[in-house]
């Protein structure tokens, strides 16, 4: 965009100078800027590497065209030095790091040199009568300002688009860091955060939460008989069952490890958790996934343990351990069973 800006601005100023009868030598610098800009536009299109081409172009403009145009202008009498500072905007947008600092100071330094040269040796600069001065200010400055305003709008939109894209990428990376690759469920990193959150709410307000631990029965035997790819499909299918059943934004599903899953139910007690797990077992039974290696049923089943926070002195780790103990008890009882941990009569 900015090379097109230079080309268009230079062309319009040249046309204006010709129409109003200014000495043609005033146009040499503008013709040069226009030609150089078009060359770099073509190079950017051909190479497909606009960033590198733009960087090279800025070096040429700052260290080549800027001093050349400055010493062939009317110095401080005309507006040339005033709008050369517009280069600082382009430098800030295109360059990064030390190059941005170097070229920014280069623009300032070159303008200072031209200013000092004009004050000490004004005879080396072009002269303008009052009418030419007025015209030069009235034509070049408005043209440059209009194009600059347009370009700033383009830059702002490009920046906003890039910022949104970066935010989307950051959100996506954050989501990936929280997600199990195979099942698409959350992982333990996410679980630690949410478990701490709901436990803090519980200790402050007394709002209960429950932890459900689920284990697919005889999953190793399933893999041995049907193969690991089939086992992966079972994990994904069961994950979809859980996602369809757990839909509140205060509940989260995790792949806890291997064939184990954990569900965190915010603002729920063990009774609510029991209802949810019974529905999950029914959903899985409807799928009727064959499991001829199972020692209890000809289809896939799960064992489940439930624990709820019932004492503000316990920690989140305790609740998970209680749910794990309940799950172990379900396996001991013969699997395909739901066990609710009860601290009052647990032994």
Residues 73 and 143 in one domain: yes
Residues 201 and 132 in one domain: no
pLDDT tens profile 124-138 = 887 777 777 777 677
Residues 16 and 139 in one domain: yes
In this structure, what CATH number is given to the domain that contains residue 331?
3.30.70.270
Whether residue 337 contacts residue 238, with contact meaning beta carbons closer than 8 Å, is answered with no
In angstroms, the CA 186 to CA 183 distance is 9
- Of 173, 204, 225, the one marking the end of a domain is 173
Helix-then-strand count for the chain, H and E: 13, 5
Answer with the residue of higher pLDDT: 211 or 135: 211
With bands split at pLDDT 50, 70 and 90, how would you rate the model's confidence at 325? very high
With bands split at pLDDT 50, 70 and 90, how would you rate the model's confidence at 91? confident
pLDDT tens profile 6-25 = 777 777 777 777 776 777 77
Residues 213 and 291 in one domain: yes
With bands split at pLDDT 50, 70 and 90, how would you rate the model's confidence at 118? confident
- How confident is the model over 234-260, as a mean pLDDT? 96
Q: What is the mean pLDDT of the chain?
A: 86
- How confident is the model over 164-186, as a mean pLDDT? 84
In angstroms, the CA 110 to CA 108 distance is 6
pLDDT of 70 strictly over 60: yes
- Of 120, 150, 173, the one marking the end of a domain is 173
pLDDT of residue 289: 97
pLDDT of residue 346: 67
The range of the structural domain enclosing residue 153 comes to 2-173
Percent of the chain whose predicted confidence (pLDDT) is above 70 = 93
Residues 118 and 216 in one domain: no
CA distances from 58 to 68, 89, 93, 192 (A): 14, 12, 11, 50
Residues 155 and 261 in one domain: no
Residues 163 and 215 in one domain: no
With bands split at pLDDT 50, 70 and 90, how would you rate the model's confidence at 347? low
- How confident is the model over 30-57, as a mean pLDDT? 82
Residues annotated as catalytic (active site), given as ranges: 259
Taking residue 105's Cβ as centre, other Cβ atoms within 10 Å add up to 12
pLDDT of 179 strictly over 70: yes
Is 182 contained in some domain? no
With bands split at pLDDT 50, 70 and 90, how would you rate the model's confidence at 282? very high
Residues 117 and 210 in one domain: no
How many structural domains does the chain have? 2
Residues 193 and 165 in one domain: no
Residues 167 and 199 in one domain: no
Residues 109 and 195 in one domain: no
- How confident is the model over 183-188, as a mean pLDDT? 93
Is 281 contained in some domain? yes
pLDDT of residue 1: 57
Taking residue 259's Cβ as centre, other Cβ atoms within 10 Å add up to 20
In angstroms, the CA 239 to CA 77 distance is 76
pTM of the model: 0.58
- How confident is the model over 183-194, as a mean pLDDT? 92
- How confident is the model over 95-101, as a mean pLDDT? 86
CA distances from 83 to 76, 78, 148 (A): 12, 10, 10
Residues 147 and 236 in one domain: no
């Amino acid at each position: 965009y900015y090379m097109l800006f230079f080309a268009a601005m230079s062309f319009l100023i040249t046309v204006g100078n010709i129409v109003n009868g200014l000495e043609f030598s005033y146009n040499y610098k503008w013709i040069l800027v226009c030609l150089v800009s078009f060359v770099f536009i073509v190079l950017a299109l051909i190479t497909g590497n606009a960033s590198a081409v733009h960087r090279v172009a800025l070096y040429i403009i700052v260290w080549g065209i800027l001093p050349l145009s400055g010493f062939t202008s009317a110095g401080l009498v005309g507006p040339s030095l005033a709008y050369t500072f517009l280069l600082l905007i382009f430098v800030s947008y295109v360059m990064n790091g030390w190059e941005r600092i170097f070229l920014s100071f280069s623009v300032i330094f070159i303008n200072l040199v031209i200013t000092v040269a004009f004050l000490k040796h004004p005879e080396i600069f072009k002269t303008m009568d009052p009418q030419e001065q007025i015209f030069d200010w009235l034509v070049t400055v408005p043209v440059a300002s209009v194009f600059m305003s347009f370009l700033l709008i383009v830059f702002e939109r490009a920046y906003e688009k890039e910022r949104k894209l970066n935010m989307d990428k950051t959100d996506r990376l954050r989501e990936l860091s929280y997600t199990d690759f195979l099942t698409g469920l959350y992982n333990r990193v996410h679980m630690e955060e949410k478990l701490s959150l709901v436990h803090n709410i519980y200790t402050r307000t007394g709002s209960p939460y429950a932890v459900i631990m689920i284990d697919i029965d005889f999953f190793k035997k399933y893999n041995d008989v049907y193969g690991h790819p089939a086992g992966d499909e079972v994990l994904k299918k069961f994950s979809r069952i859980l996602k369809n059943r757990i839909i509140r934004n205060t509940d989260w599903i995790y792949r806890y490890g291997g064939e184990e899953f954990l569900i965190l139910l915010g603002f729920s007690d063990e009774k609510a958790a029991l209802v949810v797990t019974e529905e999950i077992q029914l959903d899985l039974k409807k799928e009727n996934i064959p499991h001829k290696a199972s020692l209890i049923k000809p289809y896939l089943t799960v064992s489940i343990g439930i624990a709820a926070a019932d004492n503000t002195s316990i920690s989140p780790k305790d609740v998970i351990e209680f749910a794990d103990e309940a799950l172990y008890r379900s396996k001991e009882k013969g699997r395909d069973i739901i066990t609710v941990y009860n601290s009052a009569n647990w032994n």
